[in-house]
Amino acid sequence: MSLTDDGVRGFVSAQQVAERAGVSRSAVSRAFTPGASVSPETREKVMRAAAELGYQVNDLARGLLANRSRLVGLVATRPEVGFRAHLVAALTAALIRRGNLPFLINTGSSTAELEAAQAALFGYRAEATIILSGSPPASFVELARRNGQPLISIGRSEPGCDHVKVDNEAAAREAARLFLARGLTRLGLAGSASGTPSIVEREQAFLDEARRLGAQAVAARGADSDYAGGQQAAQVLFAMVDRPQAVFCVNDLIAFGVMDAARHRFGLRVPEDVAVIGFDDIPEASWDAYRLSTFRQDPAEIAVHTVAHLDRRLASPGAAPSTVRLRAVFVERASTSSSTTSSSPRQTAE
């Protein structure tokens, strides 16, 4: 920043750098353009003047001139909650390393908030849009498609998009088998009424596998996919006459609510009276208060594959949509009664 003639602070301009270096305005532009023709002596003078003044290239203006904004929109509902917060952090770091400027669009919960989110995303001409799992409506996705933006979907299915998915179904079925292998035949599911694609996949696969194996399986759902939702589900599950011996929770926040309700409201021991498995492996899962056995999603791994999709799509806009499906690996901790050995993460391309 610098002071203008009237004492108002403003950004240092390329013209000011040119005047300090004693060169032309165009020489400053060439000095900051990779591969442009400029003598080493001129480049050195420009860079020294820029450092003295604190000058930074206006990447937004440069991108507009090149018809490439470098902006990438991250679209999410409740991005501050649970695993999604860690995923947003990993995605923004990966995009910045790539040279993009990520900006987060919180779709909110009202029509007005959704309309404001849409105006922000499409008004700034983002070069790509990443849709996170959650509940951004299909209309939002369709509007992005009509605006000609490359679309990458994480954790949900959208026609014509590239996808990065975690194999929710395989993990949920594995959870049912783990409980049965330990002699636990009365199983509970702590789910969520939010009905997001990932949540629905986990719920349906767990219940289907448990019943296929001959277990008694009951479900209870909280109002949302959070700690309070877990406590709501626990109130139903543990008030039953034949309460579950084990509970699969569709994410870790719900699992924390279930465990605290079990211990403090119903006087149950974890895992002696009820075993609990979660999903996500957010950092709090390893805290001494929970030591939660859970299925791990790796935010950094998801971000790497998302950026790879973006590179491929921008290089070949007409290429067929591609899907990468990642395995969620079981991490054993104290909320289940015996140890198992989990295998390494793997991914397959479809």
Any idea what the CATH number is for the domain that residue 322 is in?
A: 3.40.50.2300
Q: Say if residue 47 is in the same domain as residue 82.
A: no
Q: Say if residue 218 is in the same domain as residue 336.
A: yes
Is a pLDDT exceeding 70 seen at residue 341? Answer: no
Buried b (16+ CB within 10 A) or exposed e, 260-283: bbbeeeeebebbeebbbbbbbbbe
Q: Say if residue 193 is in the same domain as residue 337.
A: yes
Q: Say if residue 323 is in the same domain as residue 335.
A: no
> How big is the chain, counted in residues?
350
Residue whose structure tokens are 């820029």: 50
Which structure tokens are listed for 239?
Answer: 């008030």
Provide the pairing of β-strand 293-296 with 275-280: parallel
Q: In terms of residue numbers, what domain contains 36?
A: 2-57
pLDDT score, position 113? 67
DSSP class per residue in 207-266: HHHHHHTT-EEEEEEESSSSHHHHHHHHHHHTTSTT--SEEEESSHHHHHHHHHHHHHTS
pLDDT score, position 4? 43
CA 240 from chain centre, in angstroms, equals 36
Read off the pLDDT of residues 209-250 as tens digits, 9 standing for 90 and up. Answer: 999 999 999 999 999 999 999 999 999 999 999 999 999 999
Q: What does the alpha-carbon distance between residue 255 and residue 278 come to, in Å, rounded to a whole number?
A: 6
Q: What does the alpha-carbon distance between residue 215 and residue 210 come to, in Å, rounded to a whole number?
A: 5
Q: Say if residue 141 is in the same domain as residue 159.
A: yes
Any idea what the CATH number is for the domain that residue 32 is in?
A: 1.10.260.40
Is a pLDDT exceeding 50 seen at residue 344? Answer: no
135 part of a folded domain: yes
Amino acid at 265: R
Q: Say if residue 83 is in the same domain as residue 173.
A: no
Read off the pLDDT of residues 296-308 as tens digits, 9 standing for 90 and up. Answer: 999 999 999 999 9
